[in-house]
Amino acid sequence: MKLEKKVALVTGGASGIGLAIARRFVAEGAKVMLADINVEAGQTCAEELGDQCAFVEADLSGEAGAEAMVKATVDTFDRLDIAINAAGIGALAPIVDQTIEQWDGVLDLNLRGVFLSTKHEARQMVAQGDGGAIVNIASINAQQASEGMSAYCSSKAGVEMFTKVAAMELAEQGIRVTGIGPGLIDTPLAAPLIAFDTIREDFLDNIPAGRMGTADDIANAALFLVSDEATWVTGTTLFVDGGELTKRFPALLHKFAELQQEGGGPG
């Protein structure tokens, strides 16, 4: 029960990595607020996790959504000790064809959403006066470029650097800010990629550990980073990727072009 008497807020908590982290935190004794734009899924997950969990609808592309979710957490559980900023989306498009709407959609949630969430989470922790821990979910694409993913890679690189700056600014208030950079994780976000045999095999060929990660792999890392075992860890991003960063990222645009020419589908 490493998180007994702690209150955690998890954005993107209705699926994938966010949900796995929420489940792990509840199992470790925390009370958890799930924040997500998907109301039906969020309410279902909160009910599944029981009395230690609640749900708040949150659109994190704007400041009002971030402020409201922190307020809902405090109104429900009286305080905020831990925040996991996991909400995010991806997009695949060549730079010359990418629309402003695609670019802004990814950057608004993945980077601005992390900034706004951290801003209001940290304000609450500062007001409480006894510190806290914030974890921002980045990606190996914070450091590993991928064709067709300019918006996503840029947003996650921004998350990694923002995490460093936030850690510097908030250390005096006893607030630790760290990041996690997942590799290929078997989640709904990755499903469109790994649905194709050739793309899935190309990913696996470039993961020295020989398998995709699971959402529980990331939950394990998150638990360490917010626990008392990591009290001297701040400002860093922990890459949980089976060694994926040591090799290369698949050439997705070329892979999909080849599949279209061959008339291939998922399988």
- DSSP-assigned letters across all residues of 141-181: GGTS--TT-HHHHHHHHHHHHHHHHHHHHHGGGTEEEEEEE
* 3-state SS class at 130: coil
**How distant, in Å, are the alpha carbons of 111, 233, 248 from that of 161?**
10, 16, 22
Given the residues 152, 162, 203, 249, select the one marked as catalytic.
152
From the centroid of its chain, how far is CA 236? 15
Residue 210 among the catalytic residues:
no
DSSP letter for 245, please: G
DSSP letter for 38, please: -
Q: Which residues are catalytic?
A: 152
